[in-house]
Protein backbone atom coordinates (compact mmCIF):
# COMPACT_ATOMS: atom_id res chain seq x y z
CA UNK A 1 0.00 0.00 0.00
CA UNK A 2 1.26 3.47 -0.81
CA UNK A 3 0.27 6.54 1.13
CA UNK A 4 -2.25 8.77 -0.57
CA UNK A 5 -1.21 12.40 -0.57
CA UNK A 6 -4.06 14.90 -0.60
CA UNK A 7 -4.38 18.67 -0.56
CA UNK A 8 -5.55 20.15 2.74
CA UNK A 9 -8.70 21.62 1.21
CA UNK A 10 -12.15 21.00 2.69
CA UNK A 11 -12.57 17.47 1.29
CA UNK A 12 -8.98 16.59 2.20
CA UNK A 13 -9.40 17.82 5.77
CA UNK A 14 -12.73 16.03 6.07
CA UNK A 15 -11.16 12.75 4.96
CA UNK A 16 -8.28 13.19 7.36
CA UNK A 17 -10.62 13.96 10.25
CA UNK A 18 -12.82 10.95 9.39
CA UNK A 19 -9.72 8.74 9.24
CA UNK A 20 -8.61 9.89 12.69
CA UNK A 21 -12.09 9.57 14.19
CA UNK A 22 -12.31 6.04 12.81
CA UNK A 23 -9.25 5.20 14.92
CA UNK A 24 -6.70 5.21 12.11
CA UNK A 25 -3.66 7.43 11.55
CA UNK A 26 -2.96 10.31 9.18
CA UNK A 27 0.14 12.41 8.55
CA UNK A 28 -0.18 16.17 8.58
CA UNK A 29 2.06 19.24 8.41
CA UNK A 30 3.04 21.31 11.43
CA UNK A 31 5.36 24.31 11.54
CA UNK A 32 8.15 22.05 12.90
CA UNK A 33 8.03 18.76 10.95
CA UNK A 34 5.30 16.49 9.56
CA UNK A 35 3.51 14.54 12.29
CA UNK A 36 1.98 11.09 12.26
CA UNK A 37 -1.34 11.91 13.87
CA UNK A 38 -3.51 9.64 15.97
CA UNK A 39 -6.18 10.05 18.64
CA UNK A 40 -3.88 10.53 21.62
CA UNK A 41 -6.04 8.49 24.00
CA UNK A 42 -7.05 5.64 21.72
CA UNK A 43 -4.97 2.63 22.58
CA UNK A 44 -5.27 1.03 19.15
CA UNK A 45 -4.56 4.27 17.25
CA UNK A 46 -1.47 4.97 19.35
CA UNK A 47 -0.33 1.37 18.89
CA UNK A 48 -0.45 1.92 15.12
CA UNK A 49 1.82 4.94 15.51
CA UNK A 50 4.41 2.97 17.46
CA UNK A 51 4.19 0.06 15.05
CA UNK A 52 4.43 2.12 11.85
CA UNK A 53 7.34 4.17 13.18
CA UNK A 54 8.96 1.20 14.90
CA UNK A 55 9.19 3.60 17.82
CA UNK A 56 10.46 2.24 21.13
CA UNK A 57 7.58 2.10 23.61
CA UNK A 58 9.54 4.05 26.23
CA UNK A 59 9.61 7.12 23.99
CA UNK A 60 6.51 9.13 24.93
CA UNK A 61 4.34 11.16 22.59
CA UNK A 62 3.50 14.83 22.43
CA UNK A 63 -0.21 15.62 22.48
CA UNK A 64 -1.34 18.35 20.09
CA UNK A 65 -4.35 20.44 21.03
CA UNK A 66 -6.01 23.50 19.47
CA UNK A 67 -5.95 25.85 22.49
CA UNK A 68 -4.54 26.61 25.93
CA UNK A 69 -7.92 25.66 27.43
CA UNK A 70 -7.68 22.22 25.82
CA UNK A 71 -4.15 21.85 27.16
CA UNK A 72 -5.21 22.74 30.71
CA UNK A 73 -7.87 20.02 30.53
CA UNK A 74 -5.11 17.42 30.15
CA UNK A 75 -3.07 18.69 33.09
CA UNK A 76 -3.38 17.91 36.80
CA UNK A 77 -1.40 21.03 37.62
CA UNK A 78 -1.08 23.99 35.28
CA UNK A 79 1.73 26.11 36.70
CA UNK A 80 1.87 29.89 36.32
CA UNK A 81 4.93 29.47 34.09
CA UNK A 82 2.82 27.36 31.70
CA UNK A 83 0.30 30.18 31.42
CA UNK A 84 2.99 32.75 30.71
CA UNK A 85 4.79 30.58 28.18
CA UNK A 86 1.60 29.50 26.43
CA UNK A 87 0.40 33.09 26.29
CA UNK A 88 3.61 34.15 24.61
CA UNK A 89 4.54 31.15 22.42
CA UNK A 90 1.39 29.20 21.56
CA UNK A 91 0.52 28.38 18.90
CA UNK A 92 4.17 27.61 18.31
CA UNK A 93 7.08 25.17 18.47
CA UNK A 94 7.17 24.82 22.27
CA UNK A 95 6.15 21.62 24.08
CA UNK A 96 5.35 21.84 27.78
CA UNK A 97 5.66 18.84 30.08
CA UNK A 98 3.28 19.09 33.05
CA UNK A 99 1.63 16.76 35.56
CA UNK A 100 -0.95 14.62 33.82
CA UNK A 101 -4.62 14.80 34.73
CA UNK A 102 -5.58 11.69 36.69
CA UNK A 103 -8.76 11.50 34.62
CA UNK A 104 -6.84 10.45 31.49
CA UNK A 105 -6.23 6.86 30.49
CA UNK A 106 -2.66 5.63 30.42
CA UNK A 107 -2.17 5.46 26.66
CA UNK A 108 1.25 6.75 25.67
CA UNK A 109 1.85 7.64 29.27
CA UNK A 110 5.22 8.20 30.88
CA UNK A 111 6.20 6.60 34.21
CA UNK A 112 6.27 9.92 36.02
CA UNK A 113 2.59 10.80 35.44
CA UNK A 114 3.46 13.63 33.13
CA UNK A 115 2.16 14.69 29.77
CA UNK A 116 3.79 16.67 26.95
CA UNK A 117 1.47 19.13 25.20
CA UNK A 118 1.63 21.79 22.53
CA UNK A 119 -0.53 23.93 20.26
CA UNK A 120 0.98 23.80 16.76
CA UNK A 121 1.28 26.97 14.67
CA UNK A 122 0.23 25.60 11.32
CA UNK A 123 -3.08 26.42 9.73
CA UNK A 124 -3.58 22.87 8.45
CA UNK A 125 -2.75 21.31 11.83
CA UNK A 126 -5.17 23.66 13.59
CA UNK A 127 -7.90 23.04 11.02
CA UNK A 128 -7.43 19.31 11.41
CA UNK A 129 -7.58 19.50 15.23
CA UNK A 130 -10.75 21.51 14.85
CA UNK A 131 -12.29 19.16 12.27
CA UNK A 132 -11.63 15.96 14.19
CA UNK A 133 -12.21 17.32 17.69
CA UNK A 134 -9.56 15.01 19.14
CA UNK A 135 -6.28 15.62 20.95
CA UNK A 136 -3.68 14.26 18.53
CA UNK A 137 -0.46 12.49 19.31
CA UNK A 138 1.81 13.41 16.42
CA UNK A 139 5.43 12.27 16.54
CA UNK A 140 7.50 12.94 13.46
CA UNK A 141 6.13 10.93 10.53
CA UNK A 142 9.24 8.86 9.86
CA UNK A 143 10.67 5.51 10.82
CA UNK A 144 12.19 5.77 14.31
CA UNK A 145 15.82 6.97 14.37
CA UNK A 146 15.54 8.35 10.84
CA UNK A 147 15.49 11.92 9.54
CA UNK A 148 12.29 13.78 10.31
CA UNK A 149 10.11 14.68 7.31
CA UNK A 150 9.75 18.31 6.31
CA UNK A 151 7.71 17.62 3.17
CA UNK A 152 4.85 15.25 2.30
CA UNK A 153 7.20 13.39 -0.04
CA UNK A 154 9.59 12.66 2.84
CA UNK A 155 6.67 11.10 4.73
CA UNK A 156 5.76 8.81 1.84
CA UNK A 157 9.40 7.80 1.40
CA UNK A 158 9.83 6.87 5.05
CA UNK A 159 6.33 5.54 5.84
CA UNK A 160 4.68 4.27 2.65
CA UNK A 161 2.16 2.33 4.76
CA UNK A 162 0.51 5.49 6.12
CA UNK A 163 -2.94 5.62 4.56
CA UNK A 164 -3.26 9.38 4.17
CA UNK A 165 -0.91 12.40 4.08
CA UNK A 166 -2.13 15.99 4.08
CA UNK A 167 0.29 17.99 1.93
CA UNK A 168 0.86 21.45 3.37
CA UNK A 169 4.15 22.17 1.61
CA UNK A 170 7.54 22.40 3.32
CA UNK A 171 7.64 23.05 7.08
CA UNK A 172 8.69 26.56 8.10
CA UNK A 173 10.95 25.58 11.04
CA UNK A 174 12.10 22.18 9.79
CA UNK A 175 13.25 21.06 13.25
CA UNK A 176 11.29 19.63 16.19
CA UNK A 177 9.72 21.65 18.98
CA UNK A 178 11.64 22.68 22.06
CA UNK A 179 10.53 20.52 25.01
CA UNK A 180 10.43 22.18 28.43
CA UNK A 181 9.70 20.35 31.68
CA UNK A 182 7.59 22.42 34.08
CA UNK A 183 7.01 19.74 36.71
CA UNK A 184 9.77 20.97 39.06
CA UNK A 185 10.43 24.38 40.56
CA UNK A 186 12.83 25.43 37.79
CA UNK A 187 11.95 24.85 34.13
CA UNK A 188 14.24 22.28 32.56
CA UNK A 189 15.12 21.85 28.91
CA UNK A 190 14.38 18.28 27.79
CA UNK A 191 15.01 18.79 24.11
CA UNK A 192 16.48 21.82 22.36
CA UNK A 193 14.40 22.71 19.34
CA UNK A 194 12.85 25.29 17.09
CA UNK A 195 12.23 27.83 19.84
CA UNK A 196 15.44 29.34 21.20
CA UNK A 197 16.46 29.30 24.86
CA UNK A 198 16.97 33.04 24.64
CA UNK A 199 13.30 33.54 23.80
CA UNK A 200 12.21 31.14 26.56
CA UNK A 201 14.37 32.73 29.25
CA UNK A 202 12.94 36.14 28.50
CA UNK A 203 9.58 34.79 29.69
CA UNK A 204 10.39 31.92 32.06
CA UNK A 205 13.59 33.18 33.69
CA UNK A 206 16.47 30.77 34.32
CA UNK A 207 16.18 27.39 32.61
CA UNK A 208 18.15 24.33 33.58
CA UNK A 209 19.99 23.10 30.52
CA UNK A 210 21.27 19.56 30.90
CA UNK A 211 23.97 19.87 28.25
CA UNK A 212 27.64 20.38 28.95
CA UNK A 213 28.17 22.19 25.66
CA UNK A 214 26.15 25.13 26.94
CA UNK A 215 27.87 27.80 28.99
CA UNK A 216 25.43 27.94 31.88
CA UNK A 217 24.55 24.27 31.66
CA UNK A 218 24.54 21.84 34.51
CA UNK A 219 25.27 18.11 34.49
CA UNK A 220 24.40 15.72 31.69
CA UNK A 221 21.30 13.85 32.78
CA UNK A 222 21.46 10.48 31.08
CA UNK A 223 23.32 8.37 28.55
CA UNK A 224 20.11 8.19 26.50
CA UNK A 225 20.83 11.71 25.34
CA UNK A 226 23.51 10.58 22.94
CA UNK A 227 21.59 7.77 21.35
CA UNK A 228 21.30 7.59 17.60
CA UNK A 229 18.41 9.59 16.19
CA UNK A 230 17.62 11.91 13.29
CA UNK A 231 20.04 9.87 11.20
CA UNK A 232 20.24 9.49 7.43
CA UNK A 233 21.11 6.17 5.80
CA UNK A 234 24.61 7.43 5.04
CA UNK A 235 27.19 7.52 7.82
CA UNK A 236 27.49 11.02 9.29
CA UNK A 237 30.86 12.35 10.43
CA UNK A 238 31.27 15.73 12.12
CA UNK A 239 34.55 17.43 11.23
CA UNK A 240 36.27 20.72 12.09
CA UNK A 241 38.33 20.75 8.92
CA UNK A 242 37.66 19.16 5.59
CA UNK A 243 40.17 16.83 4.01
CA UNK A 244 41.63 18.20 0.77
CA UNK A 245 39.76 15.72 -1.38
CA UNK A 246 36.57 14.76 0.38
CA UNK A 247 34.53 12.23 -1.53
CA UNK A 248 30.91 11.42 -0.79
CA UNK A 249 28.43 13.88 0.65
CA UNK A 250 29.33 17.23 2.16
CA UNK A 251 27.16 19.33 4.43
CA UNK A 252 28.56 22.73 5.24
CA UNK A 253 27.36 26.32 5.63
CA UNK A 254 27.95 29.76 4.17
CA UNK A 255 31.43 31.08 4.74
CA UNK A 256 32.87 27.61 4.20
CA UNK A 257 32.01 27.13 0.54
CA UNK A 258 35.49 25.72 -0.04
CA UNK A 259 34.38 22.59 1.85
CA UNK A 260 32.24 21.82 -1.16
CA UNK A 261 35.11 22.02 -3.63
CA UNK A 262 38.10 19.84 -3.80
CA UNK A 263 41.29 21.59 -4.85
CA UNK A 264 42.73 18.29 -6.03
CA UNK A 265 39.76 17.17 -8.06
CA UNK A 266 37.82 14.01 -7.40
CA UNK A 267 35.97 16.01 -4.78
CA UNK A 268 32.56 15.60 -3.29
CA UNK A 269 29.89 13.86 -5.27
CA UNK A 270 27.20 15.97 -3.66
CA UNK A 271 27.47 19.08 -1.52
CA UNK A 272 24.91 21.04 0.45
CA UNK A 273 25.80 24.56 1.56
CA UNK A 274 23.32 25.71 4.21
CA UNK A 275 22.76 29.17 5.62
CA UNK A 276 25.03 30.64 8.29
CA UNK A 277 21.87 31.77 10.07
CA UNK A 278 20.86 29.04 12.54
CA UNK A 279 17.15 29.45 11.95
CA UNK A 280 17.57 29.09 8.18
CA UNK A 281 20.10 26.31 8.62
CA UNK A 282 17.64 24.37 10.76
CA UNK A 283 14.83 24.88 8.27
CA UNK A 284 16.87 23.20 5.53
CA UNK A 285 18.87 20.65 7.53
CA UNK A 286 16.62 17.59 7.23
CA UNK A 287 15.77 18.33 3.60
CA UNK A 288 19.51 18.53 2.85
CA UNK A 289 20.14 15.20 4.60
CA UNK A 290 17.27 13.69 2.63
CA UNK A 291 18.80 14.98 -0.63
CA UNK A 292 22.20 13.56 0.27
CA UNK A 293 20.61 10.20 1.07
CA UNK A 294 18.65 10.30 -2.19
CA UNK A 295 21.91 10.92 -4.05
CA UNK A 296 23.12 7.59 -2.73
CA UNK A 297 26.27 8.72 -0.93
CA UNK A 298 27.42 6.34 1.78
CA UNK A 299 29.21 8.94 3.90
CA UNK A 300 28.37 12.55 4.74
CA UNK A 301 31.04 14.85 6.10
CA UNK A 302 29.41 17.60 8.13
CA UNK A 303 31.22 20.77 9.15
CA UNK A 304 30.68 21.07 12.88
CA UNK A 305 28.24 23.93 13.45
CA UNK A 306 29.32 26.93 15.53
CA UNK A 307 29.24 27.03 19.33
CA UNK A 308 26.63 29.12 21.07
CA UNK A 309 23.07 28.65 22.16
CA UNK A 310 21.48 29.63 18.88
CA UNK A 311 23.01 26.49 17.38
CA UNK A 312 22.09 24.21 20.29
CA UNK A 313 19.25 22.33 18.59
CA UNK A 314 21.29 21.88 15.40
CA UNK A 315 24.30 20.54 17.31
CA UNK A 316 21.95 18.21 19.18
CA UNK A 317 20.43 16.77 15.99
CA UNK A 318 23.75 16.42 14.16
CA UNK A 319 25.39 14.86 17.19
CA UNK A 320 22.71 12.19 17.33
CA UNK A 321 22.75 11.68 13.57
CA UNK A 322 26.47 10.96 13.86
CA UNK A 323 26.11 8.62 16.87
What are the binding residues for L-threonine? 32, 64, 138, 177
> Minimum distance from CB of 246 to ligand AMP (Å)?
31
Minimum distance between the CB of residue 219 and ligand AMP, rounded to whole angstroms? 18
Closest approach of Cβ 317 to ligand AMP, in Å? Answer: 12
155 scored as a contact of ligand AMP (CB under 6 A): no
Identify what 85 binds: Mg ion, ligand AMP, none; CB under 5 to 8 Å per kind.
none
- List binders of ligand AMP among 30-59 (CB under 6 A): 59
Is 182 a binding residue for ligand AMP by CB under 6 A? The answer is no
Q: How many residues make contact with ligand AMP (CB under 6 A)?
A: 15
Cβ atoms of 21 and 181 within 8 Å: the answer is: no
Cβ of residue 142: shortest distance to ligand AMP, in angstroms?
A: 9
CB 71 within 8 A of CB 86: yes
Name the residue nearer to ligand AMP (CB basis): 59 or 269: 59
Instruction: Tell me the C-alpha distance between 211 and 103, whole Å.
Output: 34
Stretch that binds ligand AMP, among 39-47, 114-122, 235-243, 293-301 (CB under 6 A): 114-122
What does the radius of gyration of the chain's CA atoms come to, in whole angstroms?
A: 20
Residue 269: Cβ within 10 Å count = 16
Binding site per annotation, positions for ATP: 55, 59, 114, 118, 140, 148, 191, 230
- Binds 71, which of ligand AMP, Mg ion, none (CB < 5 to 8 A, cut-off by type)? none
Give CA–CA dist 187/171, Å, rounded: 27
Least separation in angstroms between residue 148's CB and Mg ion is 5
Please report the beta strands in the chain, taking only residues with DSSP state E, as ranges in sequence order.
Answer: 4-6, 26-28, 35-39, 62-64, 94-99, 114-118, 136-137, 164-166, 178-181, 188-191, 235-239, 249-253, 270-274, 299-303
Q: CA-CA distance, 49 to 61, in Å (whole number)?
A: 10
Of 65, 75, 115, 152, the residue at the interface with ligand AMP (CB under 6 A) is: 115
Note the Cα 264 to chain centre separation in Å: 38
Q: Binding marks (x or -) toward ligand AMP, 72..101, rule CB under 6 A? A: -------------------------x----
Q: Applying CB under 6 A, which of residues 3, 38, 61, 82 lies at the interface with ligand AMP?
A: 61
Which residue's Cβ has the minimum distance to Mg ion? 140
Q: How far is the CB of 25 from Mg ion (least distance, A)?
A: 15
Which residue in 7, 323, 1 sits closest to 165, CA to CA? 7
CA dist., res. 269 & res. 292, Å (int): 9
Residues in contact with Mg ion by the rule CB under 5 A: 140
Indicate whether 62 belongs to the interface with ligand AMP (CB under 6 A): yes
CA–CA distance, 278 with 154 (Å, rounded to integer): 22
* Residue 116 binding ligand AMP, by CB under 6 A: yes
Give the residue with the Cβ less far from ligand AMP, 12 or 149.
149
SS3 state of residue 239: strand
The 8-class DSSP code of residue 260 comes to G
d(C-alpha 248, C-alpha 271), whole Å: 8
Residues near ligand AMP (CB under 6 A): 59-62, 97, 110, 114-116, 139-140, 176, 179, 190-191
Amino acid sequence: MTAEVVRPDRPGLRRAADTLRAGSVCAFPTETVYGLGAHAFSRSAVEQVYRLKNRPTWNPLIVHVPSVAAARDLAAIWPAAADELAERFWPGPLTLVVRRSPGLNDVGRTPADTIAIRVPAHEVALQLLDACGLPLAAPSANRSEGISPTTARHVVQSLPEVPLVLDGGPCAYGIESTVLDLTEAAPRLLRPGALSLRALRAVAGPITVPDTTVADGSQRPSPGMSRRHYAPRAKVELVDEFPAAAAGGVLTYEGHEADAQSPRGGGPQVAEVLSADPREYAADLYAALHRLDDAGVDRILVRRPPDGEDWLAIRDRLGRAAA
